[in-house]
Structures are given as structure tokens and as C-alpha cells.
Amino acid sequence: MFIETYQVEEHGGRKVIYYNGYTHARFDDERPYGITEGAFCYVEVGDDNYERACERFEEVSQYQRDVATADELLDYEADWKMHEHLHMDDVTQDTPCGMYWFEIDE
């Protein structure tokens, strides 16, 4: 049910991953779900993309949006799921630029 989202971009001739954030459960009965997004979280494509992106994500400003219903969360995720499903660790220099997502438990 919960996903992570990112984009593959090219900056200055380098292929990079822009880690957007993730959806998650919260321990709040009124707002049981959340979306955490970050600002300017880039890592160059290479080995251990996901681990490096998570480390970098901890260093950037993060913004949390509370979500009150499962339907609202699923609507947000559906927008991302229109794009290609690909785990961040599977991104290579040959991966096309674009928007991607994967499930957190993958």
C-alpha cells in the first residue's frame, strides 16, 4: 500500500535521481496516513542508489502532509502509479529520464 517516489533526471550531463518521498502510516486516528516529501534531494546514479538517497533525504528539508482517509492516500498513489514501476536500486545510466515509483516493502 505504501510507495516511494522519485524522478530520474539529467543535470550537467550526469544522470541523477531526485528522491521525492514516500507515503506511510501514522499513529493518529484522525489523520492515519502521511506523505513525506523532501526538497532538493539528488544523488548521482550509481551503486546502492536507494541507500544513498535515503541518507541524503535525512539531510534535506522534509515536509509532511497529513492524510485523513485511505481513499485520499490511494488517490495520491494512483497519480504516481501512472508512471513506471522500478525500484530505485535498478536505476542505471541507461534508465530513461522520467517519474518512477516502487512499493516500500520491495
- Spans of all domains in the chain: 3-103
% of the chain with per-residue pLDDT over 90? 88
Tracing cell 550526469 back to the chain, one arrives at 14
| pLDDT, averaged across the chain | 95
Region 13-40 average pLDDT? 93
pLDDT of 104 above 90 = no
pLDDT of 1 above 80 = no
Range 15-31 burial, b when 16+ CB lie within 10 A, else e: bbbbbbbbbbeeeeeee
pLDDT band at 94 (very low <50, low <70, confident <90, very high): very high
